[in-house]
Chains A and B, each alone.
Chain A
Amino acid sequence: MRNGFFRTIVALITVAVCATSTPASAETFSRNLRQGDQGADVKALQVFLNTYPETKIADTGPGSPGSETDYFGSLTKNAVIKFQEKYAADILAPNGLLAGTGFVGVSTRAKMNALASVEITDQSTTTGTVPLALPTEGQTANDLVFVMYPSQYSGAAGTSLSVLGGGFTATNNTVHFGDRYAVEGVPSGNTSTLNFTVPKAIPFGNYSLSVTNSNGTSSKDAFFIVIDPDVPEPTISSVSPTSGRNNTSVTITGTGFTPTGNVLRTSQKIYEDVVSPDGKTITFTITFPLDTPPGITRAPIELPYWFYVINTHGVSGPGHFTLEL
């Protein structure tokens, strides 16, 4: 009976979790932790809690996904309480407790260590029996399999998504979200399109998108952002100035910019980890290698220069600047 139940679970599409800088070993959390503690394991605790939407420490700033710290503060304590109450039967009840305490003791550590070594599973719209498997290390991109773009660049978990590209096999395509998550066993009816549902277990975040199958592995240039549907995506409301010469400093005004970690995808280059101290403005300098050389006469040109703000909240609409060279 138990084997049959387990096989049923395995028959669902799985999301494979592989180790990152915080190894998911059986004893990842080896000491008790409480508010005020500091250390690498506190940071690992925050990363772990941010894996689940209901125990996320913060939306932005210190402790938020991607900005975890090594300090156990009040936000971390609150997230631990939520975790303990989520798994009350395993953590609180055996100790005669009715409410979470925020203290990461033996029972809490045992539950976290157990979950950290289990692969997240989720059911997608793809049917069929799919074995559990971790992404194969050492695979390099080749030209036989390529991803051009997804049908949309952001969406909530559970979104129906299409990936357009080439070299997809009839069965057993694995779509990778970054290095930690994957949807396996995705079929393709035409070698150029993969249709599947973004698994609900994938945390919010900006993921590279790639495909692996018997033909090889695609590059990781495409991306998809799993968004929190309750948080608005970034928007661009104005650009100042709207035109200018080379080396102009441009200020983008809008909403939904994160303090750090914004990516600016422009027509000419990608600016990584762009800051927005106030969440409403981003400033960057356009440097374009097309100035008129010395001694050369050339008619002036006006170059359309477009950009998008991308962060964990999603993708903005386009902003525009006219570069005068």
Chain B
Amino acid sequence: MNLLASRDKKLTRKTKIIAIILITISIVGGAFFFAKKVMGLGVFVFGGPIVWVDYCTCSGNMRLTIGPPVPGRYVFQPGASMLYLFYQVYRPGPWTLGGGTAGGSCSIYVGTGCATLPTSGTIRMIGTSL
């Protein structure tokens, strides 16, 4: 009985996790298709693995380099960029799906001052793999 209850609990928990993943994909995927229609307003979408992370020490944010199939270099702005499952956003490796808007910048300390790294916009929402 306890085994069945434990298995049911596991199934319920797994069902929840799967549902959360699907909802996340739907939200971000929905944003993807919506953003495609408003590209002219400076909205972009991206999808691919995080290839590199630059820690923008002067501006207090990060620049993510996203690999193909939909690559780009975008700012992750704490407080402005919404994080979704599985939140693995500050390291190379995880796959991402997200969107953002133009603007934002990343500046990094280079010993004698700050230098600006080129970016294509600021992330507004991003979901990742685990």
Q: Which residues of A contact B (CB under 8 A)?
A: 143, 146, 148-149, 151-153, 155, 166, 221-222, 229-230, 232-233, 265-270, 288-293, 296, 298-304, 306, 308, 315, 317-318, 325
9 A-B residue contacts at CB 8 Å?
A143-B68, A266-B91, A288-B90, A290-B57, A290-B60, A292-B60, A301-B79, A308-B86, A318-B85
Contact call B57/A291, Cβ cutoff below 8 A: yes
With known contacts A221-B93, A233-B10, A315-B130, A292–B78 Cβ distance under 8 A:
no
Contact call B17/A152, Cβ cutoff below 8 A: yes
Give the distance in Å from the alpha carbon of A232 to the alpha carbon of B8 in the complex.
12
- Of B58, B59, B114, B130, which one neighbours A149 at CB under 8 angstroms? B130
Taking the complex as formed, is B88 at the interface, i.e. its CB lies under 8 A from any CB of chain A? Answer: yes
Contact call A304/B83, Cβ cutoff below 8 A: yes
Taking the complex as formed, is B62 at the interface, i.e. its CB lies under 8 A from any CB of chain A? Answer: yes
Contact call B59/A289, Cβ cutoff below 8 A: no
Closest B residue by C-beta to A235: B13
Instruction: Summarize A's interface: helix, strand, loop or mixed.
Output: loop
* Residues of chain B contacted by A151 (CB below 8 angstroms): 18, 21
Give the distance in Å from the alpha carbon of A299 to the alpha carbon of B59 in the complex.
8
- Of B17, B78, B114, B129, which one neighbours A301 at CB under 8 angstroms? B78
Contact call A290/B55, Cβ cutoff below 8 A: yes
Taking the complex as formed, is B52 at the interface, i.e. its CB lies under 8 A from any CB of chain A? Answer: no
Give the distance in Å from the alpha carbon of A325 to the alpha carbon of B88 in the complex.
19
* Residues of chain A contacted by B85 (CB below 8 angstroms): 318
* Residues of chain B contacted by A317 (CB below 8 angstroms): 17
**A-B contacts besides A301-B60, A302-B78, 11 pairs, CB < 8 Å:** A149-B129, A153-B130, A222-B129, A265-B88, A267-B90, A290-B57, A292-B60, A296-B109, A298-B58, A318-B85, A325-B60
With known contacts A290-B62, A296-B57, A298-B60, A232–B87 Cβ distance under 8 A:
no
Taking the complex as formed, is B7 at the interface, i.e. its CB lies under 8 A from any CB of chain A? Answer: yes
The interface bits of chain B over 95-115 (1 if a CB of A lies within 8 angstroms of the residue's CB, else 0) are 100000000000001000010
Cβ of A67 to closest chain B Cβ, rounded Å? 24
Taking the complex as formed, is B14 at the interface, i.e. its CB lies under 8 A from any CB of chain A? Answer: yes
Q: Which of B13, B60, B69, B79 has the most CB of A within 10 A?
A: B60
Contact call B14/A155, Cβ cutoff below 8 A: yes
